[in-house]
Amino acid sequence: MTYKILTDTDTQIKYVSYTLDSVEYKLAPINDGGVLKHLTESQALEQATKVKDWKSKSANRKLAQIKEIRLQKLIETDYLAMSDNIMSEDMIDFRKQMRDIPQDFSEDKYDELLARDEQGNLTHIVWEKP
């Protein structure tokens, strides 16, 4: 673990660089009654640990988002699965593809699945309904 106080050359604000498990975290100063103060070593350790923990759970958060989108897509097409309706093969395949998303995509593909265009629409082809 390494603790260093650094100064931003443009703003002259002091921030802390804290290395934890070979990863450097640059930590912003805290506002103490309107005065910006750099973190102490113990505060930096605590903050770096929180950031590390947050980042380590990123895949779980993304997967939860993916599952929520998938559920919404399935709900939107549930009416087609009623007994008095005959679904097209394309819709059957789409619904199966939705149910298979967690096992068909690895963590490194989560960002692609969650990608959106300028209008906020999902861009991955897997989300397109037939």
Instruction: Decide which of 40, 56, 72 is a domain's last residue.
Output: 56
Q: Do 31 and 71 share a structural domain?
A: no
Q: Which domain holds residue 104?
A: 58-127
DSSP secondary structure, 57-88, as one string: THHHHHHHHHHHHHHHHHHHHGGGGSTT----
Q: Do 117 and 99 share a structural domain?
A: yes
CA pair distance 85, 6, nearest whole angstrom:
66
- The one-digit pLDDT tens for each residue of the chain (130 residues) are 688 888 777 777 788 888 988 899 989 888 888 888 888 889 989 999 999 999 999 999 999 999 999 999 999 999 888 878 888 999 999 999 999 998 999 999 999 999 999 999 999 999 999 8
Which residue stretches of 2-118 are H helix?
41-56, 58-77, 89-104, 110-114
Q: Do 64 and 48 share a structural domain?
A: no
Q: Tokens 């260093």 label which residue?
A: 4
Indicate the helix (H) or strand (E) that contains 7: strand 2-7
- In the chain, the number of structural domains is 2
Q: Do 52 and 74 share a structural domain?
A: no
Instruction: Decide which of 41, 56, 71 is a domain's last residue.
Output: 56
Q: Do 46 and 26 share a structural domain?
A: yes
Q: Do 40 and 63 share a structural domain?
A: no
pLDDT in tens, 18-30: 898 889 998 988 8
